[in-house]
A and B are shown apart, each in its own frame.
Chain A
Amino acid sequence: MILFLAYSAVLLSFFSGLLGLMMHRRQPLLAFNQYWLAKFPTVNQRCQSAMADCLEEKRFPILLRRAVFFLLGLSGIFAILAGLSVLIGQGVITDQISLGLPWLPWHVRFDCLSGFFFLIIGIAVSAVSLYGPGYVNSYKESQHPFAVLALFTGLFVAGMLLVLLADDAFFFMIAWELMSVASYFLVSFQHENPANRRAAFLYLLMAEVGALAIILGFGVLASFSDGFTFDALRNAQLSTTWASIAFVLALLGFGMKAGIVPVHVWLPEAHPVAPSHISALMSGVMLKVALYGLIRFCFDLLGDVHWQWGVVLLILGTVSALGGILYAMMQPNLKSLLAYSSVENIGIIFMVLGLSMIFMDNGHPQLAALGLLAALLHAFNHALFKNLLFLGAGIIHHQTHQLNIDMMGGLIKKMPKTSVLFLIGCMSISSLPLFNGFVSEWLAFQTALQVDVLDNGVLRSLIPVSAAALALTAALAAACFVKVFGMIFLGQSRSHHCDKAHEIQDKGMLAGLSLLAVLCFLFGIFPGLIISLINNVAGQLLGETLPNDAALGWLWLAPVSANQASYAPPLVLIGALIAAGASFWFLRRNPATVMRRAETWDCGFGGLTPKMQYSCSAFTMPFRRIFNKVWIIDERVEKDMRGAMDQDVAAIRYHLEVHDHSWPHIYQPIENGVNTLAKVVGRIQTGNIRTYLGYSFATLILMLWVIS
């Protein structure tokens, strides 16, 4: 039954893609309808007229779009149901599909870990399918055919779900690559922009490299076992060296997809250029699938984790978290910023996962479970709020036709509903209390604080440092999202487009956002709901669950023990409401103090203009000063002079570009290297036939000499 739900989810998303292909098939459908009408004139007239109605030229595309997203949404709901039921039932369901290699059918396994990620995908996909129909309306059919979008969206979602179901290396890779390739087409959807093409190429290239690393990782395992099924791989007996090699390969492969520094460069390029609901899925969900892969590979297939791996994850995670948020801060493009922020969040997840490994190998499975729980919870939360923010960015883009934060402003009055929802996303991602982001970060801190139980001096000093970095990351994230919300929604609008923007009319789009926002808040207040589910994952994967996670009642969160730490968000909420209500009531009771609107104070110069406001780059200038080694900063001020002796300034232009270090230091050399190599190798092909004959001759002589 549960498996049926899971399969339905996959198939529905697949069919939604296929249905999308019908976009250009109105004529055949019409003809079919005519034929059908002629053949069975007696069968339900109403049905036929309804058919004909649907096929009417104007209505057909709209209806089809709705139908496609309806199927997608249904797939999301089925995924949620499947995930929930397996998490609650705590079962492990296996199955085989007779596709694939003759001696290796596709093995399917649906357990709590898969179920949890099913849940994430399901929620995200449901929200996206509410949002989608309104969003894709703005695409012109001739330039951006809906069929392409729908097909690859369906395949993308199906691919992600299949990755979670896969129980053998071959099937896993097929699903994995299906996901990559489908999303590649989505990234390149608006391919008339060079940026999209470049991003898509980079993305596919890195996906390919990553996939090769993963295959190799499986290959290492497979060469120590007798098959490619995960069952066989689990039983592989590896030496520590080989296990570490496998781990490094998996880390490279999955890390590339997840976007950890320094293999993250595709992410901030690819996510922003895809349609927003796809960016949401990519950033919010696909990265989680990579995470799933890593967890599956390390905790499930390799089994015996080593603390050294944990240290590697911890360090990489710390670097990614800090790097991600610092780069995010400098981005003027909203979606790039969100993409970099995904790097940050993935970094946090990796950090905690690393802690979990360290505790696991040091004989503290309970703490390992805590770490895993924190990581999974953060993954879940990140999926919620990152989706929310990307969808919000989509609405903003839809209404203002731009993504440059420096060109926005004042949208809070023009788009009140969107602004509230977006604010909730910003607060969640800044990990403010009462919202879900805070809970997982709190758990992450709690995990790090358990360092006392370890014996190893290196770890004992390393973990606090990373905890400090985590604290810094959280603070920087808050700063970053203050900037985002402040620049976009507050103040005065900085551009013409923004001035004319208005609230989105499509209810579905807002409903998609609202769903996510409500969940962000709900799981911020009642994290116990989701934590008890994740506990089952930890139980199945590590064989350990958290102790008395509900000893103080279900309102409380006490992951280790009530004496060590506890958090009761509902009580905090009540307290906050009381405090705010009391002060509000106390101050507003006097009717004489009704407020009055007046001009904003302009220092007496007269006439505030939007240009006087702090801009995005101005806001982040102190950070640029403080962390200036982190970026490659290209900052120029150009002055046009005029007047006598060119003494007066006519105009000033300020130019700022901030770049990622990894590009010129890692990728550029590789690219140049390949080109140079090609040039050198190209010399063998001189174009002269006598040279070619010489090669043939020399090869023959050489070979004869070799064998004799």
Chain B
Amino acid sequence: MNIEQLDFYTQAILSMAALVGLTSFLMLGQGRLLRLIFVFAMQGFLLTLTTVLAAYSLNNPHLYISAVLTLALKVIFIPWMLRRQVVQMNMHRDIEALKNNTAVMLGGASLMVFSYYVLHPIVQSSSVVMLNALAVSLSVMLLGMLLMISHRQAIAHVVGFMSIENGLFFAAIVSTNGMPLVVELGVAFDVLVAAVLFGIFFFHIRTSIDSLDVDLLNKLHEVDK
């Protein structure tokens, strides 16, 4: 099935998927925290757009609520909070030197392929579009994890964590037109609380190790040193 044969909605969704995937890649290679947060906010915004799109074309009003929640949390609140932290910590000038950046990017690309490979069996029971959408969201998830693995700043970890959530939301909206409302609300609540807790933790970590470098959090281990 070629893309020109699909309806506009599907085309739009696929474009969105591509964009969301792109933002993930952008984040992965990003060493500056402020830009990272900005790209993250962009991803959140794309997610909001997708949700609105789905709500509009599928005439599914509860997705609007979900869109509002996403907008509020992922585009406004969390980026704002993270940005504030960065500025407070005076880290906005720092560039994190990423080791093996090329390898990580290549790895990210292969993850994308891998996601398609893994989800391939799903094609039998649904459309290629679904496969695309799910694969993109899976790769967003995996890229989020990769982001966390490759970055050392706690703030980058939070961004990675939230981008994983973005991937999940994307999957939920595209493949199933959103989860039941209760669940959506619950998840949103959890994300909110998590965001608040992250804020608290930044404070604690800073007071404890005077930095937000997670590599310094290594007192508890089982290795003879």
Within 8 A of A (CB), among B75-130: 114, 117-118, 120-121
Of A82-90, A119-127, A311-319, A690-698, the one contacting chain B is A690-698
B7 interface hit (Cβ, 8 Å): no
* A685 touching B223 in the complex, CB below 8 Å, given contacts A690-B149, A690-B152: yes
Of A265-273, A530-538, A567-575, A700-708, the one contacting chain B is A700-708
A50 interface hit (Cβ, 8 Å): no
* A696 touching B223 in the complex, CB below 8 Å, given contacts A701-B114, A708-B121: no
B4 interface hit (Cβ, 8 Å): no
B195-225 to A contact mask, C-beta < 8 Å, 1/0 = 0000000000000000000110111111110
A650 interface hit (Cβ, 8 Å): no
In the complex, how many angstroms separate the beta carbon of B110 from the nearest chain A beta carbon?
10
A657-695 to B contact mask, C-beta < 8 Å, 1/0 = 000000000000000000000010111111111100110
**Set A683, A697, A705: member contacting B118, Cβ < 8 A:** A705
* A696 touching B145 in the complex, CB below 8 Å, given contacts A690-B152, A690-B214: yes
A687 CA to B152 CA in the complex, in Å? 14
**Set B120, B145, B221: member contacting A697, Cβ < 8 A:** B145
Q: Does B224 lie within 8 Å of A690, measured CB to CB?
A: no
A-B contact count (CB 8 A): 56
Q: Does A679 lie within 8 Å of B215, measured CB to CB?
A: no
Output the nearest chain A residue to B150 by Cβ-Cβ distance. Answer: A690
Contacts of A689 in B (CB 8 A): 157, 214, 217
Contacts of B120 in A (CB 8 A): 708
B52 interface hit (Cβ, 8 Å): no
Q: How many residues of A contact B (CB 8 A)?
A: 20
B155 interface hit (Cβ, 8 Å): no
**Set B118, B145, B215: member contacting A708, Cβ < 8 A:** B118
Contacts of A696 in B (CB 8 A): 145
B162 interface hit (Cβ, 8 Å): no
Contacts of A684 in B (CB 8 A): 222
- Most chain A beta-carbon neighbours within 10 Å: one of B114, B219, B223: B223
Q: Does A687 lie within 8 Å of B221, measured CB to CB?
A: yes
* A682 touching B223 in the complex, CB below 8 Å, given contacts A697-B146, A705-B118: yes
In the complex, how many angstroms separate the beta carbon of B142 from the nearest chain A beta carbon?
7
Q: Does A708 lie within 8 Å of B214, measured CB to CB?
A: no
A705 CA to B150 CA in the complex, in Å? 22
Q: Does B121 lie within 8 Å of A690, measured CB to CB?
A: no
A682 CA to B220 CA in the complex, in Å? 12
Output the nearest chain B residue to A691 by Cβ-Cβ distance. Answer: B149
**Set A682, A693, A704, A705: member contacting B224, Cβ < 8 A:** A682
B148 interface hit (Cβ, 8 Å): yes
Q: Does A690 lie within 8 Å of B117, measured CB to CB?
A: no
A256 CA to B117 CA in the complex, in Å? 54
A704 CA to B113 CA in the complex, in Å? 13
Q: Does B218 lie within 8 Å of A688, measured CB to CB?
A: yes
A681 CA to B222 CA in the complex, in Å? 9
Contacts of B222 in A (CB 8 A): 681-685, 687
In the complex, how many angstroms separate the beta carbon of A679 from the nearest chain B beta carbon?
7
Q: Does B148 lie within 8 Å of A693, measured CB to CB?
A: yes
Q: Does A679 lie within 8 Å of B224, measured CB to CB?
A: yes
In the complex, how many angstroms separate the beta carbon of B97 from the nearest chain A beta carbon?
15
Q: Does B142 lie within 8 Å of A687, measured CB to CB?
A: no
A694 CA to B221 CA in the complex, in Å? 16
Q: Does B221 lie within 8 Å of A690, measured CB to CB?
A: no
* A693 touching B145 in the complex, CB below 8 Å, given contacts A688-B215, A708-B117: yes
Output the nearest chain A residue to B225 by Cβ-Cβ distance. Answer: A687
- Most chain A beta-carbon neighbours within 10 Å: one of B146, B148, B152, B220: B148
In the complex, how many angstroms separate the beta carbon of B201 from the nearest chain A beta carbon?
12
A440 CA to B117 CA in the complex, in Å? 76
Contacts of B148 in A (CB 8 A): 690, 693
- Most chain A beta-carbon neighbours within 10 Å: one of B157, B218, B219, B222: B222
* A686 touching B145 in the complex, CB below 8 Å, given contacts A704-B118, A708-B117: no
In the complex, how many angstroms separate the beta carbon of B157 from the nearest chain A beta carbon?
8
In the complex, how many angstroms separate the beta carbon of A410 from the nearest chain B beta carbon?
55
Output the nearest chain B residue to A695 by Cβ-Cβ distance. Answer: B149
A689 CA to B213 CA in the complex, in Å? 11
In the complex, how many angstroms separate the beta carbon of A490 from the nearest chain B beta carbon?
56
B142-161 to A contact mask, C-beta < 8 Å, 1/0 = 10011011101000010000
Sort A-B residue pairs by CB-CB distance and give the 6 closest, nearest first. Answer: A687-B221, A682-B222, A687-B218, A685-B222, A704-B118, A697-B145
Q: List 18 A-B contacts (CB under 8 A).
A: A679-B224, A681-B222, A682-B223, A683-B222, A683-B223, A684-B222, A685-B221, A686-B223, A687-B218, A687-B219, A688-B215, A688-B217, A690-B149, A690-B150, A693-B145, A693-B149, A694-B149, A697-B142
Q: Give chain B's interface residues, CB within 8 Å of chain A.
A: 114, 117-118, 120-121, 142, 145-146, 148-150, 152, 157, 214-215, 217-224
Q: Give chain A's interface residues, CB within 8 Å of chain B.
A: 679, 681-690, 693-694, 696-697, 700-701, 704-705, 708
Known A-B contacts: A688-B221, A700-B145. Give 12 more (CB < 8 A): A682-B222, A683-B223, A685-B221, A685-B223, A687-B219, A687-B223, A689-B157, A690-B148, A694-B149, A696-B145, A701-B142, A704-B114
